[in-house]
Amino acid sequence: MTDDLLQLQVSNIETMVLTGIYSEETHLPQPLRVSVTVDLKLPTRKYAPDTPLAESKNYLDLKHAVTQSLPEGLHFTLIEAVADHVCAKLFAEDERVLRVEVTIVKLAISEKGEEIGIRMVRNRA
């Protein structure tokens, strides 16, 4: 039997991040498109019309993990490290977070609608 869970999502956040391994990438921020899905432990009772936000999670926490928690001026060699940073932030701020999925598309190298990047899934240890 599987436990019930709530998935929160924010998709297609565009942000500039210092990332890359090639010399032409290492001195300027690159545009990334980031999507985040969080599996959240559900409370035992059902959500009622007047249930307060504290019984869930603010969607803006997911967005801020991408747009505000990445240290300005820090160079991430791999976008995998960017994804790991987002996962760690979301796990640290809420013990109800069971799983985090981060998808990152490197817009600077994508052409003709391609989506070149990674998808990382981390589970709470």
Ranges under pLDDT 70 in the chain: 1-2, 23, 25
Q: Residue 25: its pLDDT value, please?
A: 66
Q: Residue 72: its pLDDT value, please?
A: 85
Residue labelled with tokens 């019984």: 55
At what angle are helices 79-93 and 59-67 packed, to 10 degrees? 140
Single pTM value for the model: 0.91
Nearest to 12 by CA among 102, 100, 111: 102
- Taken in order of first residue, the domains within the chain and their CATH numbers are 5-44+54-123 (3.30.1130.10)
pLDDT 10s digits, 66-92: 999 998 889 999 999 999 999 999 999
Rounded alpha-carbon distances, angstroms, from residue 72 to 31, 46, 52, 120:
14, 40, 34, 22
